[in-house]
């Protein structure tokens, strides 16, 4: 979609993407017709905007990953105090990832542009971790690539781990972010 869409077309695209995320999260094999029904649109409208299912999934990936990028930017990783930026980045990430559970966890949604977005996010994460290390939030000897991987794993477990949907704290991104920051910075060893 290279050129700007009219307002009504833009609303249709947004409705299709939101419906597709909901429907595919419940049933990854859902048809384009089921997505159209959930969006309250004719199947022909969905096909006019997205010629096939893979193009729709790619559009979902791009939209979700752009929103994730905006959420990370909102954390002000370059300027906010590192602990504040870390907490905010985690809470924002949890909000986006919980809204885009199908898309951000679907290997079919890995496209060229989506991969570029992930590459950028990974680089930004490492740069932030370097800054946090320079400013004393992280141990000077910490392996930052490993730290990034653990950070991502903690977010994934918080969202998708056993019982995550039953834990009241798992519904609150700020409470979860606090738990993740504490685990990342303090681990689970004894505190004397």
Enumerate the domain spans of the chain: 1-51, 60-186
Nearest to 132 by CA among 81, 90, 179: 81
Phi, psi of 117 (to 5 degrees): -65, -45
CATH architecture of 60-186: Orthogonal Bundle (1.10)
Instruction: Please list the alpha-helical segments (H only) found in 77-186.
Output: 82-99, 112-134, 144-160, 173-186
In CATH terms, the fold of domain 1-51 is Arc Repressor Mutant, subunit A (1.10.10)
Mean pLDDT of all residues in 144-153: 94
Band of residue 1 on the pLDDT scale cut at 50, 70, 90: very low
More confident residue, 129 or 4: 129
For the chain, the average pLDDT equals 86
pTM of the model: 0.79
Band of residue 166 on the pLDDT scale cut at 50, 70, 90: low
Judge if 1-51 and 60-186 fold alike in CATH terms.
no
Mean pLDDT of all residues in 107-117: 67
Does 187 have pLDDT greater than 50? yes
pLDDT of residue 118: 78
- List the structure tokens of 68: 């994730």
Band of residue 4 on the pLDDT scale cut at 50, 70, 90: low
Band of residue 21 on the pLDDT scale cut at 50, 70, 90: very high
Which residues, in sequence order, are CB contacts of 111 under 8 Å at separation 6+? Answer: 58, 61, 62
Q: How far is CA 83 from the centre of its chain?
A: 20
pLDDT of residue 150: 94
């Amino acid at each position: 979609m290279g050129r700007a869409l009219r307002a009504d077309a833009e609303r249709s695209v947004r409705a299709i993407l939101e419906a597709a995320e909901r429907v595919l999260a419940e049933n990854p094999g859902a048809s384009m017709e089921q997505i159209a029904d959930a969006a309250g649109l004719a199947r022909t409208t969905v096909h006019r905007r997205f010629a096939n299912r893979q193009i729709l999934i790619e559009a979902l990936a791009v939209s979700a990953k752009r929103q994730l990028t905006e959420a990370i930017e909102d954390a002000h990783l370059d300027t906010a105090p590192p602990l504040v930026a870390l907490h905010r980045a985690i809470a924002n990430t949890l909000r986006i990832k919980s809204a885009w559970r199908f898309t951000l966890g679907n290997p079919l949604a890995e496209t060229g542009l989506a991969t570029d977005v992930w590459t950028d996010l990974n680089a930004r994460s490492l740069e932030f971790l370097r800054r946090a290390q320079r400013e004393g939030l992280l141990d000077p000897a910490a392996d930052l690539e490993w730290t990034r991987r653990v950070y991502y794993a903690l977010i994934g477990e918080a969202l998708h781990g056993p019982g995550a949907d039953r834990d009241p704290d798992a519904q609150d991104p700020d409470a979860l972010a606090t738990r993740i920051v504490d685990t990342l910075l303090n681990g689970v060893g004894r505190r004397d």
